[in-house]
Amino acid sequence: MKSVSYASLDENLLSRHYLLMPATPTEDGPCFVGVDVGTGSTRAAIINAHGDILGLHVQPIQTWHPRHDIYQQSSADIWSSVCVAVRSALTASNLPATRVRGIGFDATCSLVVLDAGHAPVSVDKDSAFAENDQDVILWADHRAAEQADRINATQHTVLSYVGGAVSLEMEVPKILWLKENAPREHWDRVAHLFDLPDFLTFRATGSLARSACSLTCKCSFVPPGVEGSKGWDDSFFDTIGLSEFVQERYRRIGGVPGENGEVLFAGDVVGNGLAKNAAEEMGLVEGTPVGSAVIDAYAGAIATLGAGGREEAQEGSVVQRGANRLAIICGTSSCHIAMSPRPIFVPGVWGPYLSVLVPSMWCAEGGQSSTGQLIDHTLTTHPSISEARSQAASQNLDIYTFLNIRLAHLRTVRHLPHLELLTTHLHIYPDFHGNRSPLADPTLRGTVSGLSLDTSVDDLALRYYATLQAIACQTRHILESLNKQGYTLDTLCLSGGLCRNPLFLSLHADVTRCRVVLPRSIEGAVVVGAAFLGAKAATAAEGKREELWDVMVRMGQAGEVVEPTRVSEVVELNERRYRVFRKMLEDQRKYRAIMEGRA
């Protein structure tokens, strides 16, 4: 079995950017810790009351990846990485632990499996479920395709709140897979099933309380008050084959709110704060308030949607205008989050989810299963990647800056007025790892049109550029799907390491025709958003009433703004490319129909 460090583009760049450029503490006010558990690493940051990063550390996480659709991790390894990251960030900040008044967590939507004694339970079929250290099914794992298909075939009303179809990346299909593939005695050992963000708050506090974000977005929980829901729908779990959950009152996945379980809004205080052992492991003070966690994409939205919105917020208009801003968190995959004061149903887009970010607001969540990962794949599979890396290193450049410069050079030597003309006949459809939104079809695959026998560095640069264009086109596809159903999105709030690439940013602005707003901490936005949860918990622990949106506006910091091009020729070129993008999707479906005898 192969063990890999599954680091995405933004995780590789993060430590190089922020560990060299921490803010300097200049006051004695409160500070907050944010912990972001990503796909390949844990990031911990110390921020002050203004949202400035005072110290940051990145710690890798181990991943087992024996096959293309299997990704497994260890909850013990993840927690160890959390503790190292927090201690190191605190050291980098030169602050005493007593200055830390709150801590918040976010994480990927991965499934953690524990027994009644809170020991890990294996999810590794290849070892006959003997490798208990491997107790986490990563979000990117696609083993539960059959289970997701069967769940979706029920057409149960619960599915209407996930865009009409549950994703195989969500927790319920994975739980069903575990039940159907593990020996009965192994399944009977399973006492706790956590979405990873909730595992972190459990490990920090000892509280089994779950977050509204994790349960609603990934566990088929419909919040009480939505069409008479009481939370869990018994008929849904009976129908899909998890009737034991109904019989035991959902004990393994958090219990029934108000009966044998507790569900908290983002940033609500969890338990009695940091437990003694957790505080000692992280170098913090016992009892430090812990904010209820969110999924990593939502932490990015927390840091970005309120940034720069102070004047509008004072007028009480920003929340009401939530449907105009789309948060896009760009990493290994990308997530797209929009808010609305009313539920808007969008086929193929997860949600609408009530109160998973800001209470009483609804969220829609789109996404691209592979973005940073797709860019890396394009580069690493090209015959000239070694030569390109060598040339980049000789010029003291990272590979992405090198390729951007190479593209500008190619435009000049070919006497082209616009960069977009370089790839007039090279097109990529980007669903190499299936489509998350707006088609909710994990079986779709990537397509490339316009390949030649060229294996030069120039060809590598062109394929890299075409990949960036494809990702931007898919963002537009998601955006149009949202707006078609009632959103009025015209501003993209981007964050993540991919946003350090000016070409990535300009393409998103130009292809979507939307203004792009960046946070001041580009790669750090997600971990800063987690720290905002700690700030929210700290104010609540002090008996003060402050809504999460108020924290977002008070502490959020806007950075650069990128406007879409007004050059008519470029606008027209991007319109044509988007038409090709949509045509490539149609063609793939036609080819499948032909080969399956349906056409």
CATH of the domain at 422: 1.20.58.2240
Chain-wide mean pLDDT for the chain? 92
Tell me the percentage of the chain whose pLDDT exceeds 70: 93
Q: Within a 10 A sphere around the Cβ of 70, how many other Cβ atoms?
A: 19
> 396 lies in which domain range?
372-493+566-596
Task: State mean pLDDT over 277-284.
Answer: 98
Q: Is residue 556 part of a domain?
A: yes
DSSP 22: P
- The 10s digit of each residue's pLDDT in 579-588 is 999 999 999 9
- Cβ proximity of 414 and 422 under 8 Å: yes
- β-bridge mates for residue 448, sequence order: 428
Torsion sign across C-alpha atoms 407, 408, 410, 416: positive
For residue 292, being part of any structural domain is answered with yes
Sign of the torsion angle spanned by Cα atoms 202, 205, 210, 212:
negative
Residue 230: other Cβ atoms inside 10 A: 15
Domain of 255: which CATH number?
Answer: 3.30.420.40
**Cα 325 to Cα 320: distance, rounded to the nearest angstrom:** 11
- The verdict on 524 and 486 lying in the same domain is no
Band (391; pLDDT cuts 50, 70, 90): very high
The string of DSSP letters for 425-442 reads: T-EEE--TT-B-SSS-BT
Strand arrangement, sheet containing 290-295: 53-60, 41-48, 31-37, 100-107, 290-295
Same-domain pairing of 144 and 288:
yes
The model's pTM is 0.88
| Token code pair at residue 494 | 């981007």
What's the pLDDT at 4? 33
pLDDT tens-digit series, residues 550-578: 899 889 888 889 999 999 999 999 999 99
- Are 100 and 204 found together in one domain? yes
Query: Parallel, antiparallel, or unpaired for β 210-211 and 263-264?
Result: parallel
What is the total count of domains within the chain?
2
Q: What is the pairing mode between strands 334-340 and 325-330? A: antiparallel
In a domain, 503, yes or no: no
Residue 547 domain-assigned (yes or no) = yes
Do 541 and 587 lie in a common domain? no
Predicted confidence (pLDDT) per residue in 429-455, tens digit: 999 999 999 998 999 999 999 999 999
**For residue 316, is it within any domain?**
no
**Sole residue written with tokens 């007593």:** 98
In a domain, 473, yes or no: yes
- Domain shared by 571 and 550, yes or no: no
Examine residue 366 and state whether it is found in any structural domain, yes or no. Answer: no
Beta strands (DSSP E) in 5-40 are 31-37
Tell me the per-residue pLDDT of 144-199, one tens digit each, with 9 for 90 and over: 999 999 999 999 999 999 988 999 999 999 999 999 999 999 999 999 999 999 99
- The answer to the question of residue 477 being in a domain is yes
pLDDT at 139 exceeding the cut of 60: yes
Q: How far is residue 34's CA from residue 102's CA, in Å, rounded to a whole number?
A: 9
